[in-house]
Amino acid sequence: MSYKKTIRPKGTLLAALDVGSSKTSCFIGRIIDDKGTFEVVGVGHHPSKGIKNGSVTDLDAAEAVIRKTVHAAENMAADIMKGYPLREVVVNVSGMHARSFGHSVDVDIGSHEITDNDVRRALAKAQEREAKENLELIHTIPTLYRVDGQDGIVDPRGMFAEKMQVDINLVTCDAVALRNMASCIERSHLDISALCVGAYASGLSSLVDDEIDLGATVIDIGGGVTSFAIFHSGFMIYCDSIPLGGKNITSDIAKGLTISLEDAERLKILYGKAMSSQNDDGEMIEVPRLGEDERGKPNHIPRSFLISIIQPRIEEILEMVRARLVDSGLKDIVGRRVVLTGGSSQISGMCKLTEHVLDKQARIGKPIRLTGIPDAVSGASFSTVAGLLTYAAEHVDEMPAEIMASVAPESIIERIKLWLKDNW
């Protein structure tokens, strides 16, 4: 497959920012080969503030965290960046605000050679159909070309034809939500060089090439949102999300055991499991009491009781994902492969429960296209931010093509800037 288009040359420095419901993270990476591998040269991460279920709820608080996070990454990369501050970042759009639409578009070629312009005409035609006042277009991804009825064409340019048909995945985003996020980032003196839906980025960093080609669904279970993206034949063909994640599990534990959210989070990470097993019955765990007076007088509960709080919530999340997969109409072509990622995928037993609920093969995914990554940021929580780097390096031509088509193609960066100027 030729889905990988390495646009950026070796040595290019790129920066990515993921403002999540739980944590904000920034990676600065340098491309080190022709396969799109990044050496991570700067990293920053902080617990998010002013973000709920992927939306900005407090501009000042979110901005302060973005600044701190970016500064940490800049400091780590200071030698390589020669003291210059970061100017541009590629940014994650929460799945909460994104919607994916499949379109099939015909264009007449009239027995000529198919040109770049014919492809752009097709993409622009699809984009017109989704052009709505309160929506921004994030991705325009041609997923399949048919030339005079012949399927399976990877790149139709140069072929002679009467008619070309293109299947396109258009991803739009709520314009108000995006504007609030952009405002926090711009107030931190950063330009947005590209936007990418979170689950798409997570897939780009955690799926192996065969999974992207043969078909796989990446499910990113974060703090406030669970989002998924379906990959097939080298492309992201669909994405969707539900507004539930690890924070809901933590608050279920806090309510169920009458303990603070902080203690509930700690218990979840130390003793949480997605499914109970016989061994858990006899095991007792220590639960702190709520309220200062009672601290120091811990309570003991069976671990199985903690799991009985966690399991139904994870089942609910996975069942909602299953329903959305059915709604997508792609159930039959998505294949049996699921890759779980995001912070909450790390709850033990998650793969087994996923296999049970979705009737698919599951594995945990974490960033694989990076080197030099500190251990603390190499896990599943960082798949999105890592994938944003890959997106910025290889997929910027999936940004809405209509505007790009009207701009001289000298420099990708200039084209993106123009696109952003017209759109923000």
Size of the site for ligand ATP (CB under 6 A): 26
Distance between CA 66 and CA 23 in Å, rounded? 10
d(CA 232, CA 281): 42
In the complex, least distance from residue 243 CB atom to Mg ion, rounded to whole angstroms = 13
Strand partners, 256: none
Q: Does residue 290 contact residue 258 with C-beta atoms inside 8 Å? A: yes
From the list Mg ion, ligand ATP, none, which binds 269 (C-beta under 5 to 8 Å, kind-based)? ligand ATP
- The window from 34-42, 139-147, 174-182, 338-346 that contacts ligand ATP (CB under 6 A) reads 338-346
Q: Is 261 in the site for ligand ATP (CB under 6 A)?
A: no
Nearest residue to Mg ion, scored by beta-carbon proximity: 222
Could you say which DSSP state residue 276 is in?
A: -
Answer yes or no whether residue 381 interacts with ligand ATP by CB under 6 A: yes
CA distance 279 to 363: 23
User: To 10 degrees, the CA torsion angle through 347, 352, 355, 357?
Assistant: -70
Residue 390 near which of ligand ATP, Mg ion, none (CB within 5-8 Å, type-dependent): none
Which contiguous run of DSSP H or E holds residue 165?
Answer: strand 160-174
A 10 A CB-CB count for 148 gives 13
Least Cβ distance, residue 114 to ligand ATP (angstroms): 39
User: CB 139 → Mg ion: shortest distance, Å?
Assistant: 17
Q: How far apart (Å, rounded) are the C-alpha atoms in residues 192 and 194?
A: 6
CB nearer Mg ion, residue 93 or residue 230: 93
Say whether residue 50 binds ligand ATP (CB under 6 A): no
Q: Establish if 205 lies at the interface with ligand ATP (CB under 6 A).
A: no
Rounded to an integer, what distance in angstroms lies between the CA atom of residue 418 and that of residue 3?
25
347 binds ligand ATP (CB under 6 A): yes
- Given 3-state DSSP classes, what are the helix, strand and coil percentages for the chain, each rounded to the nearest 5? 40, 30, 30
Contact between 184 and 66 under an 8 Å Cβ cutoff? The reply is yes
Q: CA 299, 305, 309: angle at the middle one, nearest 5?
A: 115
Q: Which of 146, 247, 360, 369 binds ligand ATP (CB under 6 A)?
A: 247
Q: How far is the CB of 379 from Mg ion (least distance, A)?
A: 12
Contacts of 395 (CB under 8 A, 6+ apart): 5, 196, 204
Candidates 18-26, 117-125, 168-176, 256-264: pick the segment binding ligand ATP (CB under 6 A): 18-26
* Residue 23 engages ligand ATP in binding (rule: CB under 6 A): yes
Site for ligand ATP contains 156 (CB under 6 A): no
Q: Which stretch binds ligand ATP (CB under 6 A): 294-302, 324-332, 340-348, 369-377?
A: 340-348
- Pick the piece of the chain touching ligand ATP (CB under 6 A) from 114-122, 217-225, 282-290, 292-300: 217-225
Contacts of 337 by beta carbon, 8 Å cutoff, 6+ apart:
211, 214, 215, 216, 217, 360, 361
Question: In this chain, which of 55, 69, 94, 205 binds ligand ATP, going by CB under 6 A?
Answer: 94
Instruction: Choose between 179 and 331: whose C-beta lies nearer to ligand ATP.
Output: 179
- Interaction of residue 311 with ligand ATP, rule CB under 6 A: no
Binding region for ligand ATP (CB under 6 A) out of 128-136, 207-215, 261-269, 325-333: 261-269
> Residue 72, class by beta-carbon neighbours within 10 Å (0-12 exposed, 13-18 middle, 19+ buried)?
middle
Does 222 sit near ligand ATP (CB under 6 A)? yes
> Residue 353's CB: how many other CB atoms inside 10 A?
21
Smallest gap from residue 328 Cβ to ligand ATP (A): 20
Q: Please, which residue, 154 or 376, has the CB nearer to ligand ATP?
A: 376
Question: Where on the chain is the footprint of ligand ATP (CB under 6 A)?
Answer: 20-23, 48, 54, 94, 198, 222-225, 245-247, 250, 265, 268-269, 272, 342-344, 346-347, 381
